[in-house]
Amino acid sequence: MDKTKARVIAFYLPQYHPIPENDKYWGKGFTEWTNVAKAKPLFRGHYQPHIPADLGFYDLRLPEVREAQAELARDAGIEGFCYYHYWFGNGKMLLQKPFEEVLRLGKPDFPFCLCWANHDWTTKTWVKGNMAVNNPMIAKQEYLGKEDDIKHFEYCLPAFKDHRYIRIENKPVFVIYDPLNFPNVKDFMDRWNRLAKENGLEGIYFIGTTTGRLASYKAIIQLGFNGVCHNNRWEAEANATGSRFIRRVKSLFGWYLGWSLMKYDYNKVVKYYNTPENKIGNCYPVITPSFDRTPRAGRRAGIYVNSTPQNFLKHVKEIYESIKDKDEDHRVIFLNAWNEWGEGNYMEPDLKWGHGYLDTLKSFLKNKE
């Protein structure tokens, strides 16, 4: 392997199969596809709806789908998937079935790790018609202390011991989505590291994700994390407008009045994804193919315009420059995301671009082998 090869890890959303909670709040059979297929253009030239090509409107309960996804990702040079993992406390979980099947069956034989999406589930995620629905709590994120931490670790341990699990410094990678709103997170990490060593592991490699607003590399490292997934999307959007004030005004008007104002030029935004912190050994930058929350937020959506495979290539090249001099173990780039269709943020083939984004990434990474 060439010393300049990048390790690309793609975030993976499992919300493509029905669950009782979604049935209750959104209607029988609701999945991510329900509103994706209903999305409509909001302005001239707006690409909506996004319709999947090769894989169709898939159901993640089917092993054939999961195998096909892994094959597409492997062929593009992606190292593995980072599955979103929902643990709300006291064993309460959501959307766990696809990953549990991957683990149980040993297929696909494709690397993976977990990202704990440690946030409340409310009905803010989707809108119906032009108005946001009320905000009842679907599942409250709770941090219940020692006994729950042990129960959570025991649930994850078979995954950590799986030969497919992605490691850094020979430790299983465990990403925490919202590190700054996690009370006593240092105690949690100390407890898990102790449990890991008691179970024959060298420890856990904890990565905290920046949310793009308050979370920073320095703040997360000070909490005791091993590394940072540096997703500064919100800050990049603010910088792309030339003014944080303008960005905030656009957000407020877009949300409260339903105006389609939150449009950003892809090329202007993604250049701000590349910051000096990305060159630090344990700071892992993010690449994104596009972004369009129209299916989820309607006219309150954030939308990137001018995203194309060619512009994505420029973005990937810029981010790669910030990690190429790191050692192989830490030459990690997170891809956001593999299949966030509800946010227009995916690599899977669609009817407009086909394999364009996958082929672009494949071509670039192949030249680094």
Q: Is residue 45 part of a domain?
A: yes
The pLDDT score that the predictor gives to residue 300 is 79
Higher per-residue pLDDT: 244 or 359: 359
What mean pLDDT do residues 72-86 have? 98
The pLDDT score that the predictor gives to residue 131 is 44
Q: Which two three-digit tokens encode residue 323?
A: 């990690």
Higher per-residue pLDDT: 302 or 368: 302
Residue 298, classed as helix, strand or coil, is helix
Alpha carbons 7 and 9: distance in angstroms, whole number: 6
In sequence order, the 6+-apart residues with CB closer than 8 A to the CB of 61 are: 17, 97, 98, 101
Q: Is residue 1 part of a domain?
A: no
The pLDDT score that the predictor gives to residue 3 is 52
Residue 167, classed as helix, strand or coil, is strand
130 — pLDDT class (breaks 50, 70, 90)? very low
The pLDDT score that the predictor gives to residue 165 is 98
Alpha carbons 254 and 301: distance in angstroms, whole number: 8
Residue 255 has pLDDT above 60, yes or no: no
Q: Is residue 321 part of a domain?
A: yes
Residue 66 has pLDDT above 50, yes or no: yes
What's the structural domain count of the chain?
Answer: 1
CATH of the domain at 275: 3.20.20.80
Task: Name the pTM for this structure.
Answer: 0.94
The pLDDT score that the predictor gives to residue 302 is 86
User: pLDDT tens digits, residue range 199-225?
Assistant: 999 999 999 999 765 568 999 999 999
Q: C-alpha distances in angstroms, 54 versus 10, 69, 344?
A: 19, 10, 17
What mean pLDDT do residues 318-322 have? 97
Q: Is residue 2 part of a domain?
A: no
Q: Is residue 240 part of a domain?
A: yes
Q: With contact defined as beta carbons under 8 Å apart, do 331 and 7 qualify? A: yes
Higher per-residue pLDDT: 281 or 299: 281
User: pLDDT tens digits, residue range 34-65?
Assistant: 999 999 998 899 999 999 999 999 999 999 99
Residue 250 has pLDDT above 90, yes or no: no
Neighbouring C-beta atoms of residue 170, cutoff 10 Å: 10
Q: Is residue 85 part of a domain?
A: yes
Of all helices (H) and strands (E), which one includes residue 245?
Answer: helix 244-257
Q: Is residue 111 part of a domain?
A: yes
> Which domain, by its residues, includes 64?
7-366
User: pLDDT tens digits, residue range 140-190?
Assistant: 999 999 999 999 999 999 999 999 999 999 999 999 999 999 999 999 999
Residue 245 has pLDDT above 80, yes or no: no
Q: Is residue 203 part of a domain?
A: yes
Note the Cα 157 to chain centre separation in Å. 22
Strand-pair category, 121-122 with 137-139: antiparallel
User: pLDDT tens digits, residue range 188-200?
Assistant: 999 999 999 999 9
The pLDDT score that the predictor gives to residue 235 is 87
User: pLDDT tens digits, residue range 83-101?
Assistant: 999 999 999 999 999 999 9
Mean pLDDT of the chain: 92
The pLDDT score that the predictor gives to residue 336 is 97
Residue 71 has pLDDT above 80, yes or no: yes
Q: With contact defined as beta carbons under 8 Å apart, do 99 and 155 qualify? A: no
Alpha carbons 197 and 189: distance in angstroms, whole number: 12
Residue 286 has pLDDT above 80, yes or no: yes
